[in-house]
Amino acid sequence: MHFLLAKAAVRVAVEMVKEGLVTKEEALLRVDAASLDQLLHPTLDPNAPKKLLARGLAASPGAAQGRIIFSADEAERLAGQGEAVILVRVETSPEDIHGMSAARGILTSRGGMTSHAAVVARGMGKPCVAGCSALHVSYPEQTVTITQYDDAGPGDTRCTVMGTTFRCSCFSL
């Protein structure tokens, strides 16, 4: 369920209780548990200015912003110094677990709802956008090229991933 729909479902349930149309117990049963989960994760201000760069699958709910980092080791090192990082990979593997744990969010160019990145991110409660096919990640050059945009690298670019909606996005803020 989309974040705004989940928020609306809770509001409707509360209003119905206030008006005496249903009991608190009935109102709780009317709101899907998965939609409540959506409300417990960080989100972006819907009114904040943003530029859509690419779309992927909402593999794990929530939103996070941080510096683009391409290796799990570097993500762990920088996060240990207090820097917010987003781990950007073609796809993740078990060897990336320490970097995934340290990162605020994960972004992959391949994968789906059952990919390693998606399953691990959901288990960790981290936002993840997977299968963002518009991304071309180059580990040797330490860049990610987003179709129709310039290269983005680890030194000067921040990325926000939002895995709250069914189709989610990578934004530059």
DSSP letters, 48-63, are: S--EEEEEEEEEE--E
Say which CATH topology domain 51-172 has.
Glucose Oxidase; domain 1 (3.50.30)
Q: Does residue 121 have a pLDDT over 50?
A: yes
Q: Answer whether residue 91 shows pLDDT above 70.
A: yes
The whole-model pTM stands at 0.73
Give the residue-averaged pLDDT of 28-47: 74
> Residue 4: its pLDDT value, please?
61
Amino acid 19: pLDDT: 94
Q: How confident is the model at residue 38 (pLDDT cuts 50, 70, 90)?
A: low
Residue spans per domain, the chain = 3-39, 51-172
CA distance readout (Å), 146 to 25, 31, 50, 63: 48, 38, 16, 19
